[in-house]
Amino acid sequence: MRLRTSVDHGVVGEVATAIAAAGGMVTAIDVAESSSNRLTVDVTCSAADAEHAAELQEAVAGVDGVEVHKVSDRTFLIHLGGKIEVGSKVPLKTRDDMSLAYTPGVGRVSMAIAENPEDVRRLTIKGNAVAVVTDGSAVLGLGNIGPGAALPVMEGKAALFKRFGEIDAWPICLDTQDTDEIVRAVELIAPGFGGINLEDIAAPRCFEIEARLRERLDIPVFHDDQHGTAIVVLAALTNALRVVKKELGEARVVVSGAGAAGTAIVKLLLAAGVRDVVVVDRTGALVAGDADLSVAHEELASLTNRESRSGGLQEVLVGADVFIGVSAPGILKPEWIETMAEDPVVFALANPDPEVDPAQAARYAAVVASGRSDFPNQINNVLAFPGVFRGLLDARAHEVTVDMCLRAADAIAHVVHDDELNASFIMPSVFHPEVHHAVAAAIAHKPE
């Protein structure tokens, strides 16, 4: 906050006191300007959220002799002008530099690629380029907010690709939610990329888009909301079961949420050897043969719920070893966890508000994880996708396979060594120096 105050340095102390009384934390106070009749003071403080920030502003405005002149949110400040840029990897300082990087030298390179198309990955950015493609229909937990509003998220994704995978990624926000148009648009831009990362596209449309693109393109197509989530959940479950000394094949798992993430999680868990999975959506457990199920849910039901359990979440949770939530906030009452098997595992991954408060869940569960960074055991896709694409690009892969996803999950899990593993530490930090290299090596099938 930039404040204009009377010439009384005691006012600064009153401002700090007002912020503290309103639950804020002052991190810096600077006198930006001083004159004979007015001080200009910059106050930087931390708030819990946007609503709390407004409360702090109101508290400061209530101090006698203080005018709140301007307020800046540091989240918005880092987005000004966007978060990514294009930079040249070669010097362009002289006429000779230009003749090599552009005309006439570039013509020889173009002809070489025309004669040997496989060289395009080696002689251009294609070998290290990923398109991050969205239609803006399922952005974070914000819903169908459109391609423009999705752009900051795609920019952030591209920045993460660069930071953790040294990959050049471009946000591609399509102004259509027509499946045919999306598939065709991606087909048309594919020659310039070594991989396609589909992002924030609503189910069930995302399933068809991914399937058709995988069939038509000779580069890997990866829907992170599905497969990235599935990889990190399997990694976390592997380690959680190591903590409680249970085997994947013995665990009874309840998955809440039958959308893109839930479907991919279930399929990868089954591929990993989990045998007993029940999927629950807002109407209850999915049971094969139910005439009211959609095509996608009927397929999921046919793969799961081998004992045809019926009822809602509370009923099917009884006796289960694991709860995995990728659904909606507050749907799991903490006391229901007490009805689960001994040493239950609870993953409440709905964002920003999980299915159950992690602190409340920890009263009953042996291991609790969420998608949040303010609780132990954050399950975050950033652990997976940079390394996944690094491995795909390094291997010049043409597709993403289930086996690759299984290897990636195992690599993430085993970055946490036995002597580090405990109920509050089942996942490595995204900043762990080994995790992305381990995932890349696993995808490329190269021993570390």
Active site residue 157: yes
Amino acid at 432: H
Q: How many CB atoms lie within 10 A of CB 151?
A: 18
Residue 131 token pair:
């398109």
Residue type at 34 in one-letter notation: S
Q: Which of 83, 102, 162, 446 is catalytic?
A: 102
CA 106 to chain centre: 38
Active site residue 102: yes
Catalytic residue among 157, 162, 267, 446: 157
Catalytic residues: 102, 157
